[in-house]
């Protein structure tokens, strides 16, 4: 019977260079009266005595190599600005440090506020599904997630150098390991005293193996840094999700159905949450009120101010919507009394769908765009200051007609600012985008808004987070 093979030490990935110096072991202490041993093939000349500082020099070279590697990996991690990217980078760097090829990281903050996610390296989604069928307590990362071992000050790691040689290995774990082709595992907690326990990372080896002590030390240092970085990204992600939820709740949950008009809206929220908004509300005499606006600033204060202004404008529109100038005058007075440190732009349109007639007034806001079969043009509006900028705001209203099948596009300035171009070029790009809407899409205001967004902000910029909020409101008249 062959003796069992001892677990081998995991190989070091090329990403982690070995020390550049290697030195033979120092000879034993000399005995008085003896001479150094001659080297064969060297004409009987003895070896020179081993330099006392060579061992220290070799160790220093190894430490410099390790520190250089650790610095490079932490720099790469620090450049990630999203949880998903950071978790993937953590897996890649950790695999290089411990000499593994595959792995997974489970993000599961112990405060219960989420988000909870699992990301794999070299594992397909189906592979992660198989792993999830194993009892959590039987997996190395499960031990860290569910026991004190994964808390700050706990054991700090779980080493499983040869799964199939273990007595009492969970049968389901044995089946999954055989199916996926891994024979060993090494897990570290994502846990520090400052961040608490955020989750755990696990790397798999194809054969019985475990990382050497030097590799474990480096991986531990790296994971502790990664945990602090993940904690910062987690806080940012939670704040962003909270701001998005607030923003969504303060905007219309659905647009009204008014005979003779089809409505559609699109909006994108910046990372800190801003004050761009839109609204559509039915008014007496089968009329329709359309509004867009923007409050200066960003963050919770701007979002709250936006909500107050939008709610106030709805009330003023119900009372005197047929006079858009009066609506914006009342809104300006409210802003000066309740938000003296802020200014805002706004546009309110009183629509009569049966007559396809629109009366609008704007306060420092960009003009609407009419998109039809025979024309694509901006509505000529009077130049006026934003709300809150003058002692008393007032500007004349504008009245215009739209044809059957034409769409009126209202938008906030964030659409123009996100292009990064001067205002005149941004307006030209918007006009070109609206004029290029394919004819079959013009029957759907939602398709018109989508086409304009993708054309003005190409290459996915319409979906990414930007410094500016964007709000569009499209109304197609039948």
How far from chain centre, in Å, is Cα 359? 41
Place of tokens 């595959």: 102
pLDDT in tens, 50-109: 566 777 777 787 788 888 989 999 999 999 999 999 999 999 999 999 999 999 999 999
Q: What is the reported pLDDT for 466?
A: 62
User: In the structure encoding, which two tokens stand for residue 13, read together?
Assistant: 């990935």
Q: What is the DSSP letter of 360?
A: E
CA–CA distance, 70 with 61 (Å, rounded to integer): 14
Torsions phi, psi for 26 (to 5 deg):
-70, 145
Listing from the earlier edge strand, what are the strands of the sheet with 357-363? Answer: 274-283, 287-298, 344-352, 357-363, 398-401
Q: What is the reported pLDDT for 242?
A: 78
How far from chain centre, in Å, is Cα 101? 26
Mean pLDDT of 343-361: 95
Hey, how many other C-beta atoms are within 10 angstroms of the C-beta on 59? 13
Bridge-based pairing of strands 8-9 and 209-210 is: parallel
Q: Is the pLDDT of residue 410 over 60?
A: yes
User: Measured over all CA atoms, what is the biggest interatomic distance in the chain, rounded to whole angstroms?
Assistant: 119
CA–CA distance, 153 with 151 (Å, rounded to integer): 6
CA–CA distance, 375 with 68 (Å, rounded to integer): 63
Q: Is the pLDDT of residue 46 over 60?
A: no
Q: Is the pTM of this model over 0.85?
A: no
Q: What is the reported pLDDT for 391?
A: 65
Q: Is the pLDDT of residue 8 over 50?
A: no
Query: What is the SS3 string spanning 180-242?
Result: HCCCEEEEEEEEECCCEEEEEEEEEECCCEECCHHHHHHHHHHHHHHHHHHHHHHHHHHHHHH
User: In the structure encoding, which two tokens stand for residue 473, read together?
Assistant: 């409101």
Which residues of 381-424 form beta strands (DSSP E)? Answer: 398-401, 407-411
Closest CA to 265 of 409, 73, 433: 409
pLDDT in tens, 381-402: 877 888 888 766 677 899 999 9
Query: Which of the four pLDDT bands, split at 50, 70 and 90, describes residue 336?
Result: confident
How far from chain centre, in Å, is Cα 221? 25
**Length of the chain in residues, anyone?**
478
pLDDT in tens, 228-265: 999 999 998 888 777 777 777 778 888 999 999 999 99
Q: What is the DSSP letter of 69?
A: H
Q: Is the pLDDT of residue 44 over 50?
A: no
How far from chain centre, in Å, is Cα 138? 32
Q: Cα torsion for 213, 232, 246, 279, to the nearest 10°?
A: -110
Bigger pLDDT: 119 vs 305: 119
Q: Is the pLDDT of residue 4 over 50?
A: no
User: In the structure encoding, which two tokens stand for residue 35, read together?
Assistant: 């001479």
Tell me the pLDDT of the chain averaged across its residues.
85
Query: Which of the four pLDDT bands, split at 50, 70 and 90, describes residue 154?
Result: confident
Sorted by where each starts, the structural domains of the chain and their CATH numbers stand as 56-240 (3.30.450.40), 253-477 (3.60.40.10)
The SS3 call for residue 31 is: coil
Q: What is the DSSP letter of 440?
A: G
Distances in whole angstroms, Cα of residue 279 to Cα of each of 343, 357, 454: 19, 19, 22
Please state which of the ranges 14-23, 182-191, 265-274 shows the lowest mean pLDDT. 14-23
Distances in whole angstroms, Cα of residue 18 to Cα of each of 97, 125, 160, 189, 218: 11, 34, 25, 26, 13
Q: What is the reported pLDDT for 38?
A: 37
pLDDT in tens, 161-206: 999 999 999 999 999 999 999 999 999 999 999 999 999 999 999 9
Mean pLDDT of 205-229: 95
Residues forming a β-bridge with 191:
197
CA–CA distance, 149 with 147 (Å, rounded to integer): 5
Closest CA to 117 of 198, 191, 47: 198
- CB-based contact 148:189 (threshold 8 Å): no
């Amino acid at each position: 019977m062959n003796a069992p093979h001892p677990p081998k030490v995991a190989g070091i990935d090329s990403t982690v260079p070995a020390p550049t110096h290697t030195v033979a072991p120092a000879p034993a202490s000399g005995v008085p009266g003896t001479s150094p041993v001659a080297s064969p093939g060297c004409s009987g000349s003895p070896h020179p005595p081993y330099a006392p500082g060579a061992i220290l020099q070799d160790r220093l070279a190894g430490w410099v190599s390790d520190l250089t590697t650790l610095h490079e990996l932490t720099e790469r991690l620090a450049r990630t600005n999203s949880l998903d990217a950071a978790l993937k980078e953590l897996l890649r760097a950790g695999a290089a440090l411990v000499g593994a090829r595959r792995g997974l990281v489970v993000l599961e903050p112990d405060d219960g506020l989420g988000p909870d996610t699992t990301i794999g390296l070299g594992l397909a989604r189906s592979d992660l599904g198989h792993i999830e069928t194993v009892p959590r307590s039987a997996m190395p990362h499960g031990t860290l997630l569910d026991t004190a071992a994964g808390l700050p000050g706990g054991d700090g790691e779980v080493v499983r150098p040869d799964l199939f040689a273990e007595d009492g290995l969970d049968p389901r774990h044995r089946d999954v390991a055989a199916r996926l082709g891994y024979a060993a595992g090494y897990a570290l907690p994502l846990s520090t005293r400052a961040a608490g326990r955020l989750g755990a990372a696990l790397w798999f080896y194809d054969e019985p193996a475990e990382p050497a002590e030097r590799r474990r030390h480096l991986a531990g240092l790296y994971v502790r840094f990664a945990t602090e970085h993940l904690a910062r990204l987690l806080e940012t992600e939670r704040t962003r999700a909270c701001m998005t939820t607030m923003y969504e709740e303060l905007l219309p949950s659905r647009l009204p159905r008014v005979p003779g008009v089809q409505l559609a809206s699109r909006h994108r929220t910046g990372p800190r949450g801003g004050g761009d908004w839109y609204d559509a509300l039915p008014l007496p005499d089968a009329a329709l009120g359309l509004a867009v606006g923007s409050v200066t600033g960003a963050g919770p204060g701007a979002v709250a101010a936006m909500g107050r202004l939008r709610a106030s404008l709805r009330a003023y529109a119900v009372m005197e919507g047929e006079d858009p100038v009066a609506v914006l005058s009342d809104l300006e007075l409210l802003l000066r009394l309740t938000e003296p440190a802020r200014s805002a732009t706004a546009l309110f349109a009183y629509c009569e769908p049966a007559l396809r007639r629109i009366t609008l007034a704007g306060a420092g806001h960009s003009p609407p765009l009419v998109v039809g079969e025979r024309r694509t043009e901006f509505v000529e509006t009077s130049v006026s200051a934003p709300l809150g900028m003058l002692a008393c705001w007032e500007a004349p209203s504008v009245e215009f007609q739209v044809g059957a099948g034409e769409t009126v596009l209202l938008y906030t300035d964030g659409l123009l600012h996100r292009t990064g171009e001067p205002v005149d070029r941004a307006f030209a790009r918007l006009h070109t985008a609206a004029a290029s809407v394919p004819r079959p899409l013009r029957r759907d205001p939602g398709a018109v808004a989508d086409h304009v967004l993708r054309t003005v902000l190409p290459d996915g910029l319409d979906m990414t987070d930007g410094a500016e909020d964007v709000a569009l409101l499209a109304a197609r008249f039948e």
